Amino acid sequence: MKKSIAYIIIMVVLISCTHESLKVDVSEVTVPEMTINRLEQDVFNMDTLHPDVAVQQLKKKYGNFFNSYLAGVLNNGGMHDSSKANKLKLFISDRDMREAYSDCQKAYSDINDLKEEFTQSFKYYRHYFPAKPLPKVITMMSGFNYSIVTLDSTIAIGLEMYLGSTNKFYPMLGLPHYKTNFMTRESILPDAMRGWMMNEFPYMMDKGDFLSEIIYMGKIMYLTDALTPDLADTLKTQYTQKQTAYCTKNEFNMWSYFIAQKLLYTTDHAEIMKFTSDGPFTSAFSKEAPPRVGYWIGRQIIKQYLKNNPDITIEQMMKEKDGQKILTKAKYKPGK
């Protein structure tokens, strides 16, 4: 089982003409009735006596995503791999996988709450982007490889990555507490929205410097807020309340540090990663500073950008590739 978690993150939204609130009224917005297909159940209950037939049935039900699932998620080879059925049999016969599957079925025997949450987020998305299509949503088991996968117009949720912080598999995999603290049911929706928006709105800034990186991710975080306005901010940032308080208290100091160290326009990947990579803390500041503080600052810039430019639409902001232009129009100057 792999020890890495690929998780995948999000993009931008406008609130209303005045950007005063993200809690817009979407009661009149219509979306198709929510269905979440259970790929993990279909896989673990496949006919192992006739695996080739079972694989073709799964392919028919899940379309192109199933091929991506075999080739990219489970790394078992694609639909042209003659041994794909046998590899899938090995996956579902693995003792650890079967135990993890059992845990998933106990924890997620009822997913009506997820259906309701996704329905609401889809309404917000359709409110902001009425012409864009909505994805399918499925659950799966990824072999502890991925939490959220967004491929082939599908959002796939790796349920074994959301079994709660105390699940016995996580220490066996060597996963740190700062990760497992958010490997809970409550994190599924914000993780899924980030992943989906990253897929819908890939990196499009015109430069690869630190400023462009944090503004892009600031857009992603802001759009996460817009699609999940009722969720606690800690779930969307994956910060504790104490870490959030640190950022609020030290916003001026962090920004001043970026300026003083001439970091905004650096393209040095190692320097950028100090303030954008995951981890228990940002060592350049202190052990109290959460990871990814650059992205947190990026979201603050986007908030100011929208607040100070109420005539800018979502489409205009999404198309804006100039990070410096966004910063200038944001008039971002955090107070001491």
127 close to 223: Cβ distance less than 8 angstroms: no
- The string of pLDDT tens digits covering residues 117-136 is 999 999 999 998 899 999 99
Q: What is the mean pLDDT of residues 193-202?
A: 94
Rounded distance, CA 317 to CA 30, Å?
A: 25
Close Cβ partners of 157 (under 8 Å, ≥ 6 residues apart): 114, 137, 138, 139, 140, 147, 148, 188, 192
Pinpoint the alpha helices (H) of the chain: 39-44, 51-62, 64-68, 84-93, 95-107, 112-128, 169-172, 177-180, 188-200, 210-227, 233-237, 241-260, 269-274, 293-308, 314-319, 323-330
Rounded distance, CA 306 to CA 296, Å?
A: 16
Residue at token pair 């995503």:
65
18 pLDDT higher than 80: no
What pLDDT score was predicted for residue 15? 33
Domain range summary for the chain, segments of one domain joined by +: 36-200, 210-330
261 close to 284: Cβ distance less than 8 angstroms: no
2 pLDDT higher than 90: no
Beta strands across the sheet bearing 36-38:
36-38, 136-140, 154-158, 148-151
pLDDT bracket for residue 319 (50, 70, 90): confident
178 close to 280: Cβ distance less than 8 angstroms: yes
Which residue type does 290 have?
P
CB-count exposure of residue 88 (10 Å: 0-12, 13-18, 19+): buried
Rounded distance, CA 102 to CA 92, Å?
A: 11
- The string of pLDDT tens digits covering residues 245-295 is 999 999 999 999 999 999 999 999 999 999 999 999 999 999 999 999 999
**Neighbouring C-beta atoms of residue 323, cutoff 10 Å:** 24
Close Cβ partners of 196 (under 8 Å, ≥ 6 residues apart): 10, 135, 150, 155
What pLDDT score was predicted for residue 6? 40
- The string of pLDDT tens digits covering residues 141-180 is 999 999 999 999 999 999 999 999 999 999 999 999 999 9
DSSP 8-state secondary structure symbol assigned to residue 31: -
The number of CA neighbours under 13 Å toward the Cβ of 173 is 23
Rounded distance, CA 269 to CA 258, Å?
A: 15
Count of all residues that appear for the chain in the document: 336
* Residue 43 vs residues 31, 66, 70, 91: alpha-carbon distances, Å: 29, 11, 11, 9
First to last CA, the chain: 47
Which residue type does 329 have?
K
191 pLDDT higher than 70: yes
Query: For the whole prediction, is pTM greater than 0.75?
Result: yes
Q: What is the mean pLDDT of residues 10-30?
A: 61
Beta bridge partner(s), residue 298: none
